[in-house]
Structure formats: structure tokens, C-alpha cells
A = this chain, B = another copy of it.
Amino acid sequence: MSILYKRVALIGLGLIAGSMAHAMRRGGLAGEIIGTARSAETRRIAAEIGLCDQIAETAAEAVKGADLVVLCVPVGVMAAAAEEIGPHLTPGATITDVGSVKRDVIAQVEPHLPEDVHFVPGHPLAGTEHSGPNSGFAELFDNRYTLLTPLEGADPQAVAKLRALWEGCGANVEEMDADRHDLVLAVTSHTPHLIAYTMVGVADDLRRVTDSEVIKYSAAGFRDFTRIAASDPTMWRDVFLSNKDATLEILGRFTEELFALQRAIRTGDGDHLHDYFTRTRAIRRGIIEAGQDTDAPNFGRASPRKEDAAE
């Protein structure tokens, strides 16, 4: 691959920015990578592990001379970040972000940018339950989707170049409207996270009743919920507040269906339950066929004692 951007500025150095730094290096996509973060401790760790070629003290400093600026801060502080960098951007530069919500980010960022830069919002559909400057790895985006939601009248060349960067990072790239993005993500990501957080919270309340048994006997099901519910609290708070309408819409549907199933349990309507559970099985097949998960049992988790079991 060849260099796509001479100087890339990463604003915020968490899981996504860190993984982008690794992936851009793997692909030889950036001449130089400058990183910055608000926390001095994060900057210190990033410098120590050589995450970027340079660590800047402030976002204003980081973006100077950059032909690509990537806003990797929580959705709740996008406006502040845009306001800080706005006056220091290079004409012709591309500005993008990696926020999980798009309509709200556009509303926050756009007013602070000069007219002579290209703003192309984006969202890599990839993540783990870990966060911080140490958590990134080059393979995070491989074979995952990155969605770009260009505004009306966006410069096609700027969009194409950003697409090439994400493809170079291993991602499949698609474009869609920001509102559609927010609804789809409310279904596939935001509401599931809220539900997982809730279930783990209920279990936590019950620990007083059941001591450590909830943790000790966490079977599949709950165990998977706890992984989801271990994600970054600040990021998720901001997601729910900024994708409020779509999340509340999907939550409303969820509650309706849950009540119907609850009623079936109460009245002993086994047919309703069986039909419902059969229908949901098919959707899993679709995801595996789309190449978005493994069919191996337990996600291909290695057996904890495989060595002993090898006979």
C-alpha cells in the first residue's frame, strides 16, 4: 500500500484511535501519526509505548499541518473538540470522527469547522470491552464494517480517499444516511448494550441474596452479558444521550415483546414461546453467512484445559 495522508492527527487515544494507529502502520497508510489526549496520563502511556510518531500536548497543536484529523473522543465532547481544532485546521484537510452516533455528532461538529475543509463522518463497527491507549491492536477492523455518512454535497475525492484509508485498515466500507445509521445501530448495538447493562445490574443487586453464586455459576448467557456490560461507561452514556430518539423507539418495541413473552410464561403458553424461539434462530444463521461471526461453539473459545484433554 502507499501513503494516503502525509500527516494524520488522532484526537483522543482510546481503543479505536490506538487500533487505527496500529492498522495505519501495518498498511503503511500514513506518513506521520500525531496523537493527543486530554489526560496527561494517557499521553504519557501513549508516548511510552510508541503508539504514535509524536504526542502533542493539545488538540490545537496536533492538527497543525495535518491532512487528516480523526476525532476519537467520546460523543459527548465532540463539540468541544471541534471548537478547539477549528481555527487551526489546514485548508483542504479532511476531518472525520469515529463516534457511534452520527446525526448528533454532525450537529456538534459541523458549526465549528471552516468552509475550506472536508468533513466526512464515520463509524467503524468494531470494538472490544477494553479501553485506553493500551487496548488497541492492528486487526480490530479486519473484515468489519466501517460506515461513512457523508453530508449532502460532500467532496467525492475526499470521501474516496477516506474510504481507501479504512479499506487499508482492513475494513469493508459502506456509505449511508446519518439517520438510517442511527436507527440501525440502535437495534444492533445501542439497545442490546442497555439491556445487557440492566441485566448485569439486576444480578449485582441480587448478590446480597446469593453471595458470590451469581458470579461463580455465571453460565453462558449472563457471562456474555457481562462482557458487553464491561464496556466504557462514558462512551455508552454519551451514546444513549445522543441517540435518544432511536434508542427509546427500539426500547419501546423491546418492552412490548418482552411483556408478551412474560405473559406466555405466566399463562403457560408453550407454543408462543417455542414459535418465538424458533424464529430467532434463523437470524443467527444469517449473521454467520454474512461472515460477521464464527460458527464455532462458544465463539471458538479455547477450552480452559485443552492440554489435559488432548488424549
The interface-forming segment of A90-98, A148-156, A227-235 is A227-235
Query: B287 near A226 (CB under 8 angstroms)?
Result: yes
A residues sitting closer than 8 Å to B (CB atoms) are 26, 76, 125-130, 135, 137-139, 142-143, 145, 147, 170, 180, 183-185, 187-206, 209-210, 212-231, 233-234, 236-238, 240-241, 244, 247-248, 250-251, 253-255, 257-258, 261-262, 265-266, 268, 270, 273-274, 276-287, 290-294, 297-306, 308-309, 311
State A76–B270 Cα separation when bound (angstroms).
Answer: 10
Partner of A128 from B76, B248, B291, B298 at Cβ < 8 Å: B298
A-side binding surface: helix, strand, loop or mixed? Answer: helix
Query: A236 near B277 (CB under 8 angstroms)?
Result: yes
Which 6 interchain pairs have the tightest Cβ spacing?
A128-B297, A233-B277, A230-B284, A192-B221, A139-B303, A143-B304
State A214–B285 Cα separation when bound (angstroms).
Answer: 13
State A185–B194 Cα separation when bound (angstroms).
Answer: 21
Query: A203 near B187 (CB under 8 angstroms)?
Result: yes
State A231–B200 Cα separation when bound (angstroms).
Answer: 21
Query: A287 near B147 (CB under 8 angstroms)?
Result: no
Partner of A216 from B183, B217, B292, B301 at Cβ < 8 Å: B292
